[in-house]
Every structure is written in C-alpha cells, then in structure tokens.
C-alpha cells in the first residue's frame, strides 16, 4: 500500500509575507473576467497595460542587433550600461559614482532582495516606511530580518518624522529604507528632511537603502532630491531602473549604485558581487537599452506637465476627491499612484478589503486596499494614475456611488 500523499511544506516565514497588489483580489478579478465581466483594473503600476510604450530610442537600442545579446554579461552588468548610469549619478553629485559600484538586476525587485540578503542576519531590523511598497517588507522578512515601521502620516503629507524614526533605532537596526517619491502615497521628500534622516543613519551606522524608481515622475513643480549626494561618504545604495520613468517594466531592468567610503563598505561590496554572480547576470537585451535611456531625450516630463497624460489623470483624481464628501486625498507630488482616504459616515465600520471586494463585484473597479501597504489603519485604497483622465472620472463616479450607498446603509 502506498503511503498517504503529504502536501509539500513551504518556508515558514512565507506566512508572514503579503503582496496583495497581485493577491486574492487580483485572482478574483481574473475569475470575474473569465465569466465575461468587464473590469477596470487599477491595482498595478504597469504602464504597458494602459497603452504606454517604451520610447522608440530604447526599443531601437535593443532591436538593432539582437545577436550581440546572446552571451552572459559580467555579473554586475554590461560596462557600457554601468558607465552611463555612474556618469548620470556623478552629474547629480553622487560621490564615487563609478561603473564598478553599479549593479544591474532583473528589475529593482531582484536588487531589493539581493541587497537585503547580502546585509541581514537573523533578527536584524530594517526601518521601513509605513505605508511602504510591500516588497521591502517581504524581502526583509524572507531574508530573516524584521521590518520596523516608521509612520508617514497623512496629516503630515505622508512625510516621516525623523524624531520618531530615530526613536525606533535599536542595537539590531541595520538599515533605513527610503522610497522617494513614494509609492503608494506620492510624497516627495524635501532636502532638509533627507538631511536629518542621513544624519540618523550616520549616527547609528545604518545603511541607507534608497528606492528612487520614480525619481523623474513629479508634478506641479515638486523637486527631487537624490540621497546619495547628501550621504557623501556614508554607505548608501540607490535603486532605480527602466520600469516607470521609461515605461519598460516588462524588460526587467533595474540598477543600484553603492556609494560611500570604500573602507566602510567592507565585505558588503564583496557580498553583492557574490550574490550577483550566483544569478549569473541580469536579462541582457534590457541592459542594451540602459545607455540610450540614461543619455537619451527626456520623455517623461511632458507626461507629468499640464496637458500631459499623467498630469491630467492626477488632476481628475484630485478634483474627484475634492468633490466627494466621502473622500480625502493628499495630492501626490510624484510617482504613479493616489492613496485616498474614506471619511465621514461612509467610513463607519469601514474595512478596506471588504470595500475593495464590493467595489469590484458591484462596480467593476479593482483597487488595492490601503492596509496592503503595511499601515495600521483600514480606510485607504490605492489606484494607479496610468489610465486616461476620462476613465478616472468614471471610476471615481462609481466609487462615490458605492460609498453613498454604504453611508446610507
Ligand atoms: N520599488 C517601487 C517603489 C515600486 O513601486 C516598484 C514597482 O512598482 C518596484 C520597486 C519594482 O520595480 P521593478 O519593475 O524595477 O522591479
């Protein structure tokens, strides 16, 4: 007689990991679509799903000679791409920005995991913003670390309070994560605030992990301040890539620059090199687009300026929230999302998951519940700003209808 079939066990800490942007609700959405329902899906910041294409000069850079993309590259990536990235950071004032300190990856996603794997020992703590982009929490947990959240409160424009942040530092803290401009709330961090955070990192010897993937997606004159120049000789990893600013997320191209005084980087530099080597190299065709992207014409500012697609969609969302008695919004200064709060009678007994499910089932709109971004409240939701403004007006009309029904119930 054969023994009973045992289900495969999985890594225990996976039970602590959540990534609801593509989770249960997204699965339910696919079921509804398979049954013939038409949904407006606003859960993922995926430019290609909303009619955006990577700029033509990037497409040509890959397509011109696919033959040369056959071999593996150096584990850190093609020198020509790394040199272009290093030069771009040097122009921004990042110290020691040389090709040898740039690592290419299959999207920023891979590099987030790789850098935390290089850094953390069991029980080490990482200061992560709340709300966060949840991969930062997930990768910390999966690399045996512990996320410790610093609050970025709506009443403070979703900016952190450095005093509160420093109070969270313990003997186990190893790093501070910054996401600027921020996903999901769109906050853009002013220079003085970043200087205070850098000072905390220096004082407590913490690595700065700075996710700047939305660095050029800014609205209404918001200024972007890169952290590496402020960090100077203090260890700092800056992350960015082609997914958002260059609308090429399917190409899976990301990079990170390690700045700071060489002697302080110690074994960490070698660990990044080893972990990069273990995965051989990043997707090579995508690497060929990097030089064209970094040195080519600016194709994003126009989209973020009055009359531009992203600007007008953001304006439609701001106006819809201002006109609704059920919603309040901190206008996003950057990035590709809005993170409205439900307020007033509709917020009584509100649960963001129930709301998101009901919104999808009854109104055909998929949003991400705010608590997916590791916040301790449940009255927010996130939408991407990628659709046309007219779609957003329709969406917020439906949201308002549902919230009015709920307020009257
Ligand atoms: N970091 C942030 C803040 C993001 O919002 C995203 C994707 O939405 C990523 C990283 C992942 O980007 P990539 O496509 O380069 O893996």
Q: CATH code at 316?
A: 3.90.1150.10
Distance from residue 274's CA to the centre of ligand 1 (Å): 23
Domain limits at 291? 57-295
Q: Between 107-119 and 135-142, two packed helices, what is the crossing angle to 10 degrees?
A: 40
336 lies in a domain? yes
The number of the ligand 1 atom at minimal distance from the alpha carbon of 110 is 16
Q: What is the pLDDT of residue 1?
A: 60
238 lies in a domain? yes
Whether pLDDT at 265 is above 90: no
> Which secondary structure element, helix H or strand E, spans residue 312, and what is its range?
helix 309-323
The number of the ligand 1 atom at minimal distance from the alpha carbon of 182 is 3
The number of the ligand 1 atom at minimal distance from the alpha carbon of 249 is 14
86 with 185, same domain: the answer is: yes
Question: Residue 108 corresponds to which tokens in the numbers above?
Answer: 């920023």
Q: Of 264, 295, 326, at which residue does a domain stop?
A: 295
Distance from residue 58's CA to the centre of ligand 1 (Å): 19
89 lies in a domain? yes
Spatial strand order of the sheet with 236-241 comes to 102-106, 253-259, 236-241, 207-211, 173-179, 125-130, 146-153, 159-160
Whether pLDDT at 263 is above 90: no
pTM of the model: 0.96
5 lies in a domain? no
Mean pLDDT of 247-271: 93
Where do runs of H (alpha helix) occur along 327-388? 352-363
166 lies in a domain? yes
**Ligand 1 pocket: which of 21, 77, 133 to mutate (most atoms <8 Å of CB)?**
133
Q: How many separate domains does the chain show?
A: 2
48 with 66, same domain: the answer is: no
Instruction: Say if residues 368 and 382 touch (Cβ distance below 8 Å).
Output: yes
Digit-coded pLDDT (tens) for 9-19: 888 899 999 89
Instruction: Say if residues 309 and 388 touch (Cβ distance below 8 Å).
Output: yes
Return the CATH number at 216: 3.40.640.10
40 lies in a domain? yes
Mean pLDDT of 117-143: 97
Q: Between 24-34 and 352-363, two packed helices, what is the crossing angle to 10 degrees?
A: 10
Please tell me whether the interface predicted TM-score (ipTM) of this complex is above 0.90.
yes
Q: Which residues contact 64 (CB under 8 A, 6 or more apart)?
A: none
Separation CA 276–CA 258 (nearest Å): 14
7 lies in a domain? no
Q: What is the pLDDT of residue 69?
A: 76
């Amino acid at each position: 007689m054969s023994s009973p079939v045992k289900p495969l066990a999985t890594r225990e800490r996976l039970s602590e990991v959540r990534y609801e942007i593509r989770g249960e609700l997204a699965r339910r959405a696919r079921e509804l679509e398979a049954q013939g329902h038409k949904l407006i899906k606003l859960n993922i910041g995926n430019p290609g799903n909303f009619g955006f294409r990577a700029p033509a000069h990037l497409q040509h850079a890959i397509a011109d000679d696919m033959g040369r993309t056959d071999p593996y590259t150096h584990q850190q990536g093609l020198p020509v791409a790394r040199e272009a990235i290093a030069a771009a950071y040097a122009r921004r004032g990042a110290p020691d920005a040389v090709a040898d300190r740039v690592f290419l990856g299959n999207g920023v996603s891979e590099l987030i995991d790789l850098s935390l794997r290089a850094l953390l020992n069991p029980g080490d703590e990482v200061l992560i913003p709340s709300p966060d982009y949840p991969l930062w929490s997930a990768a910390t947990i999966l690399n045996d670390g512990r996320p410790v959240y610093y609050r970025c409160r709506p009443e403070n424009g979703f900016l952190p309070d450095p005093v509160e942040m420093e109070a969270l530092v313990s003997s186990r803290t190893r790093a501070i994560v910054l996401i600027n401009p921020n996903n999901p709330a769109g906050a853009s961090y002013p220079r003085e605030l970043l200087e205070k955070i850098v000072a905390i990192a220096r004082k407590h010897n913490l690595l700065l992990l700075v996710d700047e993937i939305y660095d050029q997606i800014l609205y209404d004159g918001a200024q972007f301040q890169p952290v590496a120049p402020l960090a100077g000789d203090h260890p700092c990893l800056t992350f960015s890539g082609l997914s958002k600013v260059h609308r090429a997320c399917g190409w899976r191209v990301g990079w990170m620059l390690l700045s700071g005084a060489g002697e302080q980087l110690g074994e960490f530099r070698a660990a990044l090199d080893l972990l990069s080597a273990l995965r051989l190299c990043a997707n090579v065709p995508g690497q060929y687009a990097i030089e064209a992207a970094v040195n080519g014409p600016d194709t994003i500012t126009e989209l973020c300026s009055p009359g531009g697609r992203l600007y007008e969609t953001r304006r439609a969302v701001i106006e819809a929230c201002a006109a609704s008695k059920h919603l309040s919004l901190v206008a996003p200064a950057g990035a590709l999302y809005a993170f409205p709060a439900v307020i007033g009678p509709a917020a009584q007994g509100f649960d963001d998951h129930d709301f998101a499910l009901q919104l999808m089932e009854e109104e055909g709109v998929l949003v991400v519940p705010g608590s997916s971004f590791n916040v301790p409240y449940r009255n927010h939701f996130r939408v991407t700003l990628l659709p046309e403004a007219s779609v957003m007006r329709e969406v917020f009309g439906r949201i308002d209808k549902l919230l009015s029904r709920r307020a009257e119930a």
